[in-house]
Structure 1
Amino acid sequence: MQHLRVAWALAGAALGFFLLFWIQAHFFGEGQLVAGTCEIVTLDRDSSQPRRTIARQTARCACRKGQIAGTTRASPACVDVHIVKTRQWCEMMPCLDDEGCDLLVNRTGWTCAQPGGRVKTTTVS
């Protein structure tokens, strides 16, 4: 009889810990990013001008010490702070693998040139 009570007590404690863990993960852990990762919060596109699409995106990042939000391979990513401070945008590899990266003359952004001649321009604000 004593073993049965101990077994029920352990089962109840295990169930309690499981429920507590589930509640914490489900309700309190929402919205937290893993260190070194980013997510896109908003993405707006404007195609009102012919042959031109203006896209604006806002990303949320949880970067490690010495890193800041940037762009790698056309996706938000954590990059080294010195890249942003020196405005050497192409060092963070912002373009896709088959695209070429060039800094804008005033260093306010970069362009990604695709093999077919199409150019994507990104400015930093």
Structure 2
Amino acid sequence: MQLVRLVCALAATAAALAVLALFQARFLREGQLAAGTCEIVTLDRDSTQPKRTIARQTARCACRKGQIAGTTRASPACVDAHIVRSRQWCEMMPCLDGEGCDLLVNRSGWRCAQPGGRVKTTTVS
């Protein structure tokens, strides 16, 4: 009896996944992002300066109403628009777990400080 229930549950799960895949294929055209998601389009790194790496990345986001492209946990993400407008960058939690976030003096970005002393500075353009 339990085996029959397990088989029925697996069949129902498979059917639900198939419906979800069909829905996604029908409503999202190729190259279109799902609402609330982001992807990295370009990533350039420059390590010509000693002890310093400059990285520039461009992301493409499909944010919901009231959201705008930002950074959460060191990855592109949709964040509340008021965070970007007020330039309170640390409110979007841009640093990884265990890193401390500090606003730059002119509010043009933020710094993520790791416990070992390494600092990652991000500026917004």
TM-score normalised over the length of structure 1? 0.78
1:29 & 1:69 partners in 2: Cα distance? 21
1:36 & 1:115 partners in 2: Cα distance? 32
Equivalent residue letter for 2:70: G
Other-structure match for 2:111:
111
1:75 & 1:85 partners in 2: Cα distance? 19
Other-structure match for 1:92:
92
TM-score normalised over the length of structure 2? 0.78
Aligned residues with identical type, % of pairs? 87
1:58 & 1:34 partners in 2: Cα distance? 18
Equivalent residue letter for 2:56: R
Q: How does 1:45-124 map to 2 (within 5 A)?
A: 45-124=45-124
Where has structure 1 moved over 2 Å in runs of 4 or more?
none
Q: Deviations over 1:66-86 (max 9, x none)?
A: 000000000000000000010
Q: Deviations over 1:61-107 (max 9, x none)?
A: 00000000000000000000000010000000000011000000000
Query: SS state of the match for residue 91, structure 2?
Result: helix
Equivalent residue letter for 1:49: Q
Shift, 1:29, TM fit: 1.5
How large is the RMSD of aligned CA atoms in angstroms?
1.4
Structure whose alpha-carbon radius of gyration is higher: 1
Other-structure match for 1:37:
37
Equivalent residue letter for 2:90: C
Other-structure match for 1:19:
none
1:104 & 1:50 partners in 2: Cα distance? 23
